[in-house]
Chain A
């Protein structure tokens, strides 16, 4: 099964966490310890190896922060 790799353009993120909500694998979370220049919490990938490249996070991101890449398993 193919896996996914996520790239975040953190400076555009507003920490709305819609990606966290809609990730079916529940591997995204708000990073409470790091903020971007706007002062919003960053998004972190808790278990990158479980990403399935479904791109639900990127589809729901209003600010086009996320790029999703599919890599062969």
Chain B
């Protein structure tokens, strides 16, 4: 008997993804949509698209989508979740959006303990605008705005978002994952499933940081970019569960 082992997720539309060849945004899109389908919440899911390469993700996810102003995805998500508590609300944000302009909205959403799922794509660069330095750009990494490499004296150190959020008492689940090989993709899916399950069980704020690639702006082939994630990014951004428990309500 023939059995289908793998096919395109029903949580994605038929639209062709607008991302560059080999960009791991596509892999994370698959994981999020598969999680929504597996948890049977696709019909009540509301996604918040951010600004950046993922701005067009409202065309790709097969659920209700809203596109928020730059960095404001968690503020929009808060409003939707409070008005429609039965909806499963997630934001899908890159590092230019969440770690830079939107860090205030995201931290305060976590601090209030909003019952949301945040998918954070860390590719260490601004992709859509042409490869400028992001808060998450690694030291020494060359970008169009740091042509000699990021210098800690001039630009500060790369921001570790998962570590920052793990210190917020009401962020109940914070994990950093990677998608650089099939095994890592399976672990990333487990984390994303957990982040959505937390929301279904009304446990509070969950954030999953996904180490991702930007082959075009890094100046690498897609395969080289995945190796760079494994060798360089994972050395500075450790892949692990930072927090998994209940909200800490001690004052």
Give me the interface of A with B, judged by CB distance under 8 Å.
Answer: 4-5, 9, 11-12, 14-18, 21-22, 40, 53, 55-56, 58-64, 66-72
Contacts and interface: CB of A to CB of B under 8 A. Distances in A.
28 contacts: A11-B16, A12-B16, A15-B21, A16-B222, A17-B22, A18-B223, A22-B181, A22-B182, A40-B21, A55-B6, A56-B182, A58-B5, A58-B7, A60-B185, A61-B26, A61-B27, A62-B17, A62-B22, A62-B26, A62-B27, A62-B30, A63-B17, A63-B26, A64-B26, A64-B30, A66-B6, A67-B6, A68-B5
Q: Is the interface of B mostly helix, strand, loop or mixed?
A: mixed
Given A53-B5, A62-B25, 18 more contacts: A16-B22, A18-B222, A18-B223, A56-B182, A58-B5, A58-B7, A59-B27, A59-B185, A60-B27, A61-B26, A62-B19, A62-B23, A62-B24, A64-B8, A64-B26, A67-B4, A70-B3, A70-B4
Interface string B180-203: 011001100000000000000000
Interface in B179-235: 181-182, 185-186, 215, 222-223, 226
B226 to A, nearest CB: 7
A59 B23 CA distance: 14
Given A12-B16, A56-B182, A63-B16, A4 B5 contact: yes
A67 B8 CA distance: 7
User: Ordered nearest first, which 8 A-B pairs have the shortest CB separation?
Assistant: A62-B26, A16-B22, A14-B21, A64-B8, A58-B6, A16-B21, A55-B6, A68-B6
Nearest to A16: B22
Contact of B182 (A53, A59, A66, A67): A59
Contacts of B22: 14, 16-18, 62
A5 B5 CA distance: 10
